[in-house]
Structure 1
Amino acid sequence: MKRILFSVIFFSGYCFSQEMDTLNINKPKKLDSGKVLSNKIKTKNIDDVVITGTIKPISKSKSPVVVEIYSQKFFQKNPTPNIFEAIAMVNGVKPQLNCSVCNTGDIHINGLEGPYTMILIDGMPIVSSLSTVYGLSGIPNSLVDRIEVVKGPASSIYGSEAMGGVINIITKNALTAPKLSIDVMTSTWSENNVDLSTKFNFGKNAASLLSLNYFNYEKRIDQNKDNFTDAALQNRISVFNKWNFRRKGSRQAGFALRYLYEDRFGGEMQWNKSHRGSNEVYGESIYTNRVEAFGVYQWPLKENIITQFSYNFHDQNSFYGTNPFEATQKVGFTQTYWDKKLGNHDLILGLAFKKTFYDDNTPGTLSADGLTNDPMKSPIFGAFIQDQWGINEKNTLLLGYRFDYDKIHHAIHSPRFAWKFSPNPYHIFRFNFGTGFRVVNLFTEDHAALTGSREVVIKSDLKPEKSVNGNLNYVWKIPVGDKLINFDASAFYTYFSNKIVGDFDTDPQKIIYDNLNGYGISRGASLNVDYNFSFPLSINLGMTYLDVYQKFDGKERKVQQLHAPKWSGTYNLTYKFPNNLTVDFTGQFYGPMRLPVLPNDYRSEYSPFYTLANIQVSKSFISGFEVYGGIKNMFNFTPKDPLMRAFDPFDKYIDDPVNNPYHYTFDTTYGYAPMQGIRGFLGVKYTLK
């Protein structure tokens, strides 16, 4: 097996925490049509400040890049213990479970697999490839101030991993955070989550935020009677400390540290730790240790020069049945850029450096002769330029270019183009275009390569993937009294060459990886609609259509992407009663998606249409307390037969001609939704401002 190289190029923005929920207009403003925009019109997030699309803070309405903003209050409508579960509330973003045993997952944007999604914390590339397997579930919602989502190309800004999009998790600012915040939640499945945070002021110009999250789920439940845990047991602790400083001229300065430990298990109900790695009782057991550090410093100069830095250490000790997987990844990153305004041009020039160390016990880090261990050490140097040109009040143009160089693939070029046209405040058109580049490490990105349920075969020396991406967005604000109905529609198209795909179909005992001898396409459209009625009801609805597939040279056959539903959507309805009583009805729906079936599989190749619906009732008090409770998965949907041959997880009877004539193997990849059925939850919060 030839060595697999992993190379990522990152470039990211810094955290700027500011929100405006009202369009502030001191005087009525005439539109081109002759109408007048009243200063009484209000709409949620009409002029929020965003940073993810263009690096520097800019109002959402003026940004040429399409950026969606979701506040912590939005995610509290369906409380979850971590970001991985919460992000399902965003239209077009799907947290995908890749293993029905240990519940590993990644985040899909517009049908593209998790490795195409870049996850940032405060604009820093903290979530490295190894940690996407389990690290996403270790990010507690208590840290979040807001989340910004960019769907589509962002390679010239954020590097090669941003081929599909960017999710930027912006944490709370210590200077403005509450003095004390407590959130305790439990469920009828005995999922217990505790969030504690407090801040300390050091004079008027410094503050420190200390946050502790503890999640515990150790109740073994097997409602479908396959002798496997329906949900992976987890015992997790996360400690977060962030410092922010006030400086002259509003210069930026901040620093943060986070530590995560998790003990996770999924497997047969009778498993205990004495069975770890044995062939007696099947279990998948994962120990994770993780350290993160990141910060930003703006130099005390007349010119606007900013330095950012981050470091993460991730250690994983795991067994998948009898197969051990031990891996360590260390990623250091720093960049400095100059932000300069020249007339109608906002220029950004910068340099970046990133170094990745990765080592594991798989053939992925063997030397070329396969005899000695050879950890991957990949330094990458980058330079970038961006010009945002305000041509006039109606037109804004953004041009970007990034050059990266590493020792394996040498020069990497990433151009970018974005244009915004707004004839009046009611209509905004945006067009984004860019290229992508990615090199894959299968053992950190594809959980199926780790489980041991199938043999991994790599047919050739994998070449890096390339893509060309385009996105067209239209925002229409319709005045209704003193409110606005917001329509946000997008159409997107991505063309892949050298796409790296896993072949699950040719041999049921193998996953065969190779560059696609053809091309891949991801295309579709999405629509979001939100409106606050004159009475206390607000709605937010989203729908996405996807067509994600591959075509092979010389073949007309069109192969649909696994786990990419043609239709999906979100719904969010909130009604506020008097006396601070609120009811939230939220959920997602998914149309049929193609699943990895075995030859002669008795299970359907496509999932059914299903919805995961939740309802919550909350009551807040003047004292700072809030009580909330509700029902999750209220229609009690769970996948049927997520595991093949759960009674023979070590494939001892694969060649039994009587009881297994089709030679089925134990397989964990069919699951497409959580196995947790209907359950209740109850929680209490306290906030001291």
Structure 2
Amino acid sequence: MKNFALIQILLLLSCAITNANPIKVIGHITSGDEHVPFANVSINDGQKGVFADKDGHFTIELEENQTYSFLVSVVGYKDQTIEFKPTRSNHDIHFNLTKDLLELNEVIVSSSRRSQSRQETSSVVNVVGSDFLMKNDIKVVGEGLNYIPGTRVESTCGNCGSTQLRLNGLEGPYTQILIDSRPLFSGLVGVYGLEQIPVAMIDQVEVVRGGGSVLYGANAIGGTVNIITKSPKFNAYEVGTNFGTIDGKSHDYNMYFNTSLVSKNEKTSSYIYGSYRNRDVWNANPDDIYYQLDDDGNPTGSPIKDDFSELTAMKTLSLGTKVYHQFSDYNKLSFDLKYTHDERRGGNKLDLPKDQADITESIDMHIGTAMLNHDWFSKDKKLHLNSYLSGQYVHRDSYYGAYQQKDGFGLTTGQTVVAGSQLNINLGEFWNGKSFFVTGVEYINDQIHDKKLSYFDEDLGQNTQDATVSDQISNTYAIFAQNEWVSNRWSVLVGARWDFVDIVDKQTHENDKRVNSINPRVNLKYKLNENMQLRGGFATGFRAPQMFSEDLHIEVTSGQGVRTQLDPNLKPESSLSYNLAWDFDKTFGHVQTYFLVEGFHTRIKDRFDNQYNYLEDGTLILFKRNSTSDAIVQGINLEGRVAPSEKLSFQAAYTIQSAKYEEENQWGDEDSSTSKYILRTPNQYGSLSADYKITNQWTATMTGVYTGSMHVPYLPGGFIDGQLTTEEELIQSEQFFDMGLKIAYMTKLTKDSNIQIGAGVKNIFNQMQSNFVSGVDKDAAFVYGPITPRMFYIDIRIGNLLN
């Protein structure tokens, strides 16, 4: 009996040891007869995970006789979930994915500060992926945003080439731009920032329109643009180059590389990228003439041929890396390092020193960014703590001046530090649904020091002193929290963010401001059936006053002293936003479709109103006060996508809106004209794109951006058609359709690499504004319509993941 009992114990121990030994599960991922490479395999809601290889296979060790939930996701295919219990005799699992021709199921983070499928979000989120940017020859982020509903990028200065992004008709300062969910776009960087981010570093761009994105910060009144950079997932590389020409004389050259490196144990990985762009200056109206002005402001002397730029000369270098190290399944650390050098010059006589030309607007900007990020997960993955520290330093040398002014040189430095921590809690089952709670704290320190540099004053016979324009420190302390409850039909998201902003004017302390604001957010989603959903929400928002204003250089080109003043009674701007959206996606036979109709309404109270006043010594004062007139922007965004087959797909977006002030609003100095229109804002605009896979090797893409008529202000002083303009005017512009076409051919270069050669044309019909201004005193802000004229280009891409 004793021997029998001993045998039983040994058998039990043997079984226990056997069961404790993991089983190697082998996975196969296909779509029809094709293997799907590099899919993401998540097990039990992220408790474990692995990536498939280039042949669509993966292996992972799991415990025997336990049931696991496998979720497979990859761009271009619909997600698939399978329950699987591995055994010694059954350890192979097969996934057959269905193609998602319209890519509606991307994983996004911008809606609720946690990763989820775009179709599951409580608010409407639009995504532009790196594939779309690359195949349409889009070099920088700003160009690609025009293809999202309610989104428009415009040029704001003909001399320096600055741009701004408008969401739902609201100007650039009302949009919160994020890099990997961090608010590092200060007022200084935001002026040129969208043209400084190369697509080589972009994974996707997520856009949330309206105040539903208020949890990301104070400026998210119009919406949030979250630029998600690429992460290393498997060993890969890509190099490419592009050459474009406008008229055979003005060229745009671009080259880039990126590579991902992953260690054998997949614990450490890195992504490295670089990009260089060199664009020549371009003049739209070289045959126009202008005259010098005498002391009374009258034309004098012989006519002069226009030599002023409409596109600035530009050289941009970007380098960066992102490194990950996974200490365990529950701890991961990442570090980002980025450097950008942006040099550009506009005006005329670019071969002369800056202070010897008639007009020069130039910058020489260095931007360094570092980001440290730590993720901790509980063993059951129900808790996720994300802690982050980011910093950015900007050094910008500049010259804004006319008539060979010596005092046009400037130096602006900026420092931004963002630190915070965010806790995501999966509360599990609750009221026949699942509940997800997010809370966190955030601190933002933003410092800007803007000054005009000293110069030798010939009248005084001595050097002048540096003149400070703005010297400001802004500290923001924030707490946010939200809860999202999700059932089969309903999603309810309720959240709020509290901000305390402390602004210090280090120069005089007369402009110190403290702002305390709480802003709630509510979003609802109701699933009408398997194909239709309703989404709605409202949110409040605010924008704290800022001393620094990059608008000054647009108004000032003659080198006079400038200074910013805040009204002692200045209050922060506040907003209230509503939106309601209906979307529909259904496959009819082999035809996949998606449609969206979204209504929006935003009211802004206590708007910042800039007034320009001159002192007796010639100093220009930018006086910032609150307007008594609210701004109201409301309208409808429309989007449609259709894919009749795997070879052909179409995408279109259109916006119809009204953007007005409740009362007449001045648009210049205190003696200028007034208007109810929010200027430079068309009531209709949209975009379209089409992809056609002609053969396995040949593809064709077409794009188009439509800009409707808008009201554009023109200030006197320049020459149009050789005539001096002496009256300010509000011009109603023409409408534009900027269309592009590209043909590309791909073939094998080596066993593991492909090469793609493409050629195309942008702005085929050369749609540009009808009137360009000449002369030293021209209005630099009188620019509208497409930014780039007709351009022919060729490009070459080489990589091991091109398909």
TM surpasses 0.5: yes
Number of the residue aligned with 2:300: none
Query: Which of these residues, 308, 332, 339, is aligned with residue 424 of structure 2?
Result: 339
**Counterparts of residues 187-586 of structure 1 (less than 5 Å):** 187-188=244-245, 189-204=250-265, 205-225=267-287, 226-249=306-329, 251-268=331-348, 270-274=349-353, 276-278=354-356, 280-299=357-376, 301=378, 303-321=383-401, 322=405, 323-342=408-427, 343=429, 344-361=434-451, 375-390=471-486, 392-407=487-502, 408-441=513-546, 443-446=548-551, 451-452=556-557, 460-461=567-568, 462-502=570-610, 513-534=624-645, 536-552=647-663, 559-586=676-703
Number of the residue aligned with 1:152: 210
- Aligned 8 A contact 1:42 1:483 in 2: no
Q: 1:511 to 1:331 in 2, by over 3 A?
A: closer
Equivalent position SS for 1:299: strand
Number of the residue aligned with 2:109: 51
Q: Does 1:185 align with 2:242?
A: yes
Q: Does 1:587 align with 2:587?
A: no
Report the alpha carbon displacement of residue 230 of structure 1 after superposing the two structures with TM: 2.7
Q: Which one has more relative contact order, counting CA pairs under 8 Å at least 6 apart?
A: 1
- Aligned 8 A contact 1:155 1:436 in 2: no
| Alpha-carbon distance in 2 for matches of 1:199, 1:340 | 31
- Aligned 8 A contact 1:325 1:450 in 2: no
Q: Following superposition, which runs of at least 4 residues in structure 1 exceed 4 angstroms of deviation?
A: 17-20, 24-27, 38-43, 219-224, 370-374, 447-450, 453-459, 502-506, 509-513, 599-604
Report the alpha carbon displacement of residue 647 of structure 1 after superposing the two structures with TM: 2.3
Q: One-letter code of the match for 1:682?
A: I
Q: 1:593 to 1:505 in 2, by over 3 A?
A: farther
| Alpha-carbon distance in 1 for matches of 2:415, 2:593 | 47
Report the alpha carbon displacement of residue 586 of structure 1 after superposing the two structures with TM: 0.2
- Aligned 8 A contact 1:448 1:669 in 2: no
Number of the residue aligned with 1:656: none
Equivalent position SS for 2:645: coil
Report the alpha carbon displacement of residue 235 of structure 1 after superposing the two structures with TM: 1.2
- Aligned 8 A contact 1:398 1:419 in 2: yes
| Alpha-carbon distance in 2 for matches of 1:523, 1:614 | 30
Equivalent position SS for 1:142: helix
- Aligned 8 A contact 1:99 1:447 in 2: no
- Aligned 8 A contact 1:45 1:69 in 2: no
| Alpha-carbon distance in 2 for matches of 1:389, 1:285 | 51
Q: 1:42 to 1:180 in 2, by over 3 A?
A: closer
Equivalent position SS for 2:251: coil
Q: One-letter code of the match for 2:497?
A: R
1:240-259 per-position Cα deviation (integer Å, ceiling 9, x unaligned)? 11112345336543211110
- Aligned 8 A contact 2:186 2:446 in 1: no
Q: 1:250 to 1:612 in 2, by over 3 A?
A: farther
Q: Does 1:613 align with 2:739?
A: yes
Report the alpha carbon displacement of residue 234 of structure 1 after superposing the two structures with TM: 0.6
Aligned-pair identity in percent equals: 23
| Alpha-carbon distance in 1 for matches of 2:276, 2:597 | 39
1:423-453 per-position Cα deviation (integer Å, ceiling 9, x unaligned)? 2220011112111111243644536556436
Q: One-letter code of the match for 1:493?
A: H
Q: 1:535 to 1:61 in 2, by over 3 A?
A: closer
| Alpha-carbon distance in 2 for matches of 1:596, 1:456 | 24
Number of the residue aligned with 1:660: none
| Alpha-carbon distance in 2 for matches of 1:373, 1:111 | 30
Number of the residue aligned with 1:677: 789
- Aligned 8 A contact 1:104 1:447 in 2: no
- When the two structures are aligned, how many residues end up with a matched partner? 631
Structure 1: gaps of 5 or more residues: 1-16, 28-37, 364-369, 650-665
Number of the residue aligned with 2:144: 86
Number of the residue aligned with 1:658: none
Q: One-letter code of the match for 2:206?
A: E
Report the alpha carbon displacement of residue 102 of structure 1 after superposing the two structures with TM: 1.2
| Alpha-carbon distance in 2 for matches of 1:353, 1:457 | 26
Report the alpha carbon displacement of residue 266 of structure 1 after superposing the two structures with TM: 0.5
Report the alpha carbon displacement of residue 398 of structure 1 after superposing the two structures with TM: 0.3
Q: 1:26 to 1:121 in 2, by over 3 A?
A: closer
Q: Which has the larger displacement, 304-313 or 41-50?
A: 41-50
Q: 1:437 to 1:173 in 2, by over 3 A?
A: same
Q: One-letter code of the match for 1:306?
A: N
Q: One-letter code of the match for 1:384?
A: F
Greater percentage in strand: 2
Q: One-letter code of the match for 1:614?
A: G
- Aligned 8 A contact 2:396 2:412 in 1: yes
Equivalent position SS for 1:476: strand
Query: Which of these residues, 73, 76, 83, is aligned with residue 21 of structure 1?
Result: 76
Larger radius of gyration: 2
| Alpha-carbon distance in 2 for matches of 1:450, 1:132 | 18
Q: Which has the larger displacement, 67-76 or 239-248?
A: 239-248
Report the alpha carbon displacement of residue 552 of structure 1 after superposing the two structures with TM: 2.7
Q: 1:99 to 1:505 in 2, by over 3 A?
A: farther
1:356-412 per-position Cα deviation (integer Å, ceiling 9, x unaligned)? 11111279xxxxxx998873222222111110012x310110000111223332421
- Aligned 8 A contact 2:610 2:624 in 1: yes
Report the alpha carbon displacement of residue 570 of structure 1 after superposing the two structures with TM: 0.2
Q: One-letter code of the match for 1:106?
A: Q
1:540-594 per-position Cα deviation (integer Å, ceiling 9, x unaligned)? 0111012111123999x96111111011010101111113211111010111111
- Aligned 8 A contact 2:342 2:364 in 1: yes
Report the alpha carbon displacement of residue 684 of structure 1 after superposing the two structures with TM: 0.1
| Alpha-carbon distance in 2 for matches of 1:185, 1:108 | 28
**Counterparts of residues 110-125 of structure 1 (less than 5 Å):** 110-125=168-183
Q: One-letter code of the match for 1:345?
A: S
Q: One-letter code of the match for 1:208?
A: S
Report the alpha carbon displacement of residue 168 of structure 1 after superposing the two structures with TM: 1.0
- Aligned 8 A contact 2:744 2:757 in 1: yes
- Aligned 8 A contact 1:26 1:39 in 2: no
- Aligned 8 A contact 1:218 1:233 in 2: yes
- Aligned 8 A contact 2:133 2:139 in 1: no
Equivalent position SS for 2:713: coil
Equivalent position SS for 1:306: strand
1:104-139 per-position Cα deviation (integer Å, ceiling 9, x unaligned)? 111111111111111111111222221011222110
Q: 1:548 to 1:284 in 2, by over 3 A?
A: same
| Alpha-carbon distance in 1 for matches of 2:315, 2:537 | 42
Number of the residue aligned with 1:166: 224
Q: 1:250 to 1:578 in 2, by over 3 A?
A: farther
| Alpha-carbon distance in 1 for matches of 2:370, 2:710 | 38
| Alpha-carbon distance in 2 for matches of 1:457, 1:198 | 45
Please give the TM-score of this superposition, normalised by the length of structure 2: 0.74
Report the alpha carbon displacement of residue 150 of structure 1 after superposing the two structures with TM: 0.5
- Aligned 8 A contact 2:102 2:592 in 1: no
Q: One-letter code of the match for 1:358?
A: I
- Aligned 8 A contact 2:661 2:677 in 1: yes
Report the alpha carbon displacement of residue 511 of structure 1 after superposing the two structures with TM: 7.5
Number of the residue aligned with 2:6: none
